[in-house]
Amino acid sequence: MLLQVSDLAIRSRSGGVRILDGVDLQLGAGEVLGLVGESGCGKSMTCYAIADLLPAGLVRAGGSVRFDGVDMGSLDEPARRRLRGGRIAMIFQDPTSHLNPVHRVGTYLEGALKRHRGLSGTDARMEAIRLLERVGISDAKRRMNAYPHEFSGGMNQRLMIAHALACEPDLLIADEPTTALDVTTQAQILDLIETVRAETGMAILIVSHDLGVIARLADRAAVMHCGRIVETAPVEALFDRPAHPYTSALIGCMPTVDPDDCDPPRPIRGSVPSLADLPGGCHFHPRCDRRMPACGLARPPLAALADGQSSACFNPVPTW
């Protein structure tokens, strides 16, 4: 198993708020895992924890992240940096805000090539130009001298993908890679990610609140709610027969192009609870149509179902 996240917990440094609470994830070499859920459920924070990029004020309260059999918590900081840049790469949902505005595009790419592949001078410049061309940026030689503010949002996202590919990673973490892009550019970025995966065979952890993106790219999906994984399944099974009521509700929010299904999307009632004031038991039970008295008293464990599917629910949706 390339990536194994076990019982991962992240809390505020003061200890008052748990951001992640017992997250378990597995990702094999060459596999694409989709992480989906409403905004604020902990998807991005899971990515930051895996990449060892937790924001100031948050600390790991428990659990482990193992990459290729090695516990990342056991490594010193220089070793984690080499791993994070060399074998684990990440692209962010707001690329422009994660690029240094005073560095030219060429400097940004050549720096990564020097740190992680030992390239310098003409070799680094030629490889950086090749990477820009690979991600579909035209006139790459001239664009090497541009600054990030001279690129559109879609071009900056392509630049971040080029930066990620510079070190030939085994794992790419893509955190909402199409957020804030227009529909045409979104499709181009997804096409690019599919092409990169086919060419390199890298594993991808892709985060999205858009189930359509997950259905298109992922082999398996994990559904997150209030800092916990509530369902995992192969993508086909997740959409055909969701087991957790929250997953079923998310799918019900999606519009359909099926001419035989004219029902409008069904919004989930209520709102995502604050992490500082979570309801007891299953955190979804106040919004759930299948709740039972036990749901408010105890937290259901993530239990295995059939065909690689698992769900954390006392009263799951029938999947037969």
Q: Measured between alpha carbons, how far apart are the two ends of the chain, in Å?
A: 30
Closest by CA position to 308, among listed 229, 206, 217, 222:
222
- Angle of the 77-86 helix axis to the 105-117 helix axis, nearest 10: 120
CB of 17 within 8 A of CB of 197?
A: no
CB of 172 within 8 A of CB of 202?
A: yes
Query: What does each of the 320 residues of the chain score in pLDDT, given as a tens digit?
Result: 899 999 999 999 887 789 999 999 999 999 999 999 988 899 999 999 999 899 988 999 999 999 999 999 888 888 888 888 889 999 988 888 889 999 999 999 999 999 888 899 999 999 999 999 999 999 999 999 999 999 998 999 999 999 988 888 999 999 998 887 888 888 888 998 999 899 899 999 999 988 889 999 999 999 999 999 999 999 999 999 999 999 999 998 887 766 666 677 788 888 888 888 899 999 999 999 999 999 999 999 999 998 889 999 999 998 66
Residue count of the chain = 320
Domain boundaries, given as residue ranges, for the chain: 3-311
What is the second-level CATH architecture of the domain 3-311?
A: 3-Layer(aba) Sandwich (3.40)
